[in-house]
């Protein structure tokens, strides 16, 4: 805690700058060689008390983060106590409206229609009765979609690569015949951009509750 200290009881242990009270005025001073100093060569007399210089004030983002951390700890404590007393956990929480997935023998997974609708031909219906099952199948759907998107990227790359190679061959010829260094550098940077900015598809599906937890 920051407070005024009497010089008779305690003095600063290093020559760091502190607030020094001389008479009715406070100065920014340091204590070394048994004496108080305003600067390296100007002394200060009749110092009765001193106090540490407070640290820099924290900004709003810092205190907001601390408040959110505290609230999360309190919410987790309340939730754990409730689970202990009632036996309820997120893994056995029953769903009022069942989440439905469809899957087939090849491993394809789709988000299904409500439970009373039949599955498409060749597909089997999966009814998730609780949140634990729903999260498992949601993760499987994401993995399936990621595999499918990678296959699309490979197919696109196989089609675009010959075109891209011909363009780069022409651009290298332009670089070789450039009339000045500016044109040469411009074409070179554009070729680097072609390699760097290749199209990639990223697509993920989440349940509404999962998306909310991830800040989406």
pLDDT tens track for 70-81: 767 777 776 666
- Asked if the model's pLDDT at residue 3 lies above 70, the reply is yes
pLDDT band at 11 (very low <50, low <70, confident <90, very high): very high
Percentage of the chain exceeding pLDDT 90: 7
- Asked if the model's pLDDT at residue 59 lies above 50, the reply is yes
Q: Report the pLDDT averaged over residues 165-183.
A: 83
Note whether residue 69 is domain-resident: no
What region, left, alpha or beta, does residue 46 occupy, with left being phi > 0 and alpha being psi -120 to 50 degrees? left
- Asked if the model's pLDDT at residue 25 lies above 50, the reply is yes
Question: Residue 179, Cβ neighbours under 10 Å: how many?
Answer: 7
Same-domain pairing of 99 and 46: no
Note whether residue 67 is domain-resident: no
CA dihedral 170, 176, 177, 183 (to 10 degrees): 90
Sign of the CA dihedral 118, 119, 124, 126? Answer: negative
Give CA angle at 207 (203, 209), nearest 5°: 130
Buried b (16+ CB within 10 A) or exposed e, 189-201: eebeeeeeeeeee
Domain that holds residue 121: 94-213
User: Which residues, in sequence order, are CB contacts of 97 under 8 Å at separation 6+?
Assistant: 114
Question: What per-residue confidence (pLDDT) applies to 189?
Answer: 82
Q: Which of 208, 206, 203, 214 is nearest to 146 (CA)?
A: 203
Question: What per-residue confidence (pLDDT) applies to 159?
Answer: 83
Supply 48's token pair. Answer: 């009765």
Note whether residue 205 is domain-resident: yes
pTM of the model: 0.40
Same-domain pairing of 121 and 181: yes
Same-domain pairing of 205 and 101: yes
Note whether residue 123 is domain-resident: yes
More confident residue, 185 or 55: 185
CB neighbour class for 177 (10 Å; exposed up to 12, middle 13-18, buried from 19) = exposed
142's enclosing H/E stretch is helix 131-176
Q: Report the pLDDT averaged over residues 16-39.
A: 88
Same-domain pairing of 99 and 196: yes
| pLDDT tens, residue by residue, 89-106 | 555 555 667 888 889 888
Same-domain pairing of 25 and 98: no
Number of domain units in the chain: 2
Note whether residue 140 is domain-resident: yes
Rounded CA separation 18/53 (Å): 5
Note whether residue 168 is domain-resident: yes
Same-domain pairing of 98 and 192: yes
Question: What per-residue confidence (pLDDT) applies to 36?
Answer: 93
Question: What per-residue confidence (pLDDT) applies to 47?
Answer: 92
- Asked if the model's pLDDT at residue 211 lies above 50, the reply is no
Q: Reduced to 3 states, what is the DSSP secondary structure of residue 9?
A: coil
Note whether residue 23 is domain-resident: yes
């Amino acid at each position: 805690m920051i407070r005024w200290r009497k010089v008779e009881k305690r003095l600063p242990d290093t020559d760091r700058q502190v607030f020094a009270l001389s008479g009715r005025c406070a100065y920014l001073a340091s204590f070394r060689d048994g004496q108080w100093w305003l600067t390296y060569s100007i002394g200060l007399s009749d110092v009765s008390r001193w106090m540490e210089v407070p640290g820099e004030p924290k900004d709003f983002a810092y205190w907001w983060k601390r408040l959110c951390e505290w609230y999360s700890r309190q919410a987790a404590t309340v939730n754990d106590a409730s689970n202990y007393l009632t036996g309820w956990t997120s893994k056995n929480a029953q769903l009022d409206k069942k989440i439905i997935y469809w899957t087939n023998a090849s491993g394809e997974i789709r988000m299904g229609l409500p439970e009373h609708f039949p599955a498409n031909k060749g597909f089997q219906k999966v009814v998730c009765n609780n949140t634990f099952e729903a999260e498992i199948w949601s993760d499987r759907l994401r993995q399936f979609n990621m595999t499918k998107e990678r296959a699309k990227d490979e197919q696109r790359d196989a089609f675009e690569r010959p075109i891209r190679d011909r363009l780069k061959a022409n651009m290298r010829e332009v670089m070789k015949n450039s009339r000045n260094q500016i044109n040469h550098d411009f074409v070179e940077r554009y070729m680097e951009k072609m390699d760097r900015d290749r199209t990639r598809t990223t697509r993920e599906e989440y349940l509404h509750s999962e998306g909310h937890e991830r800040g989406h």
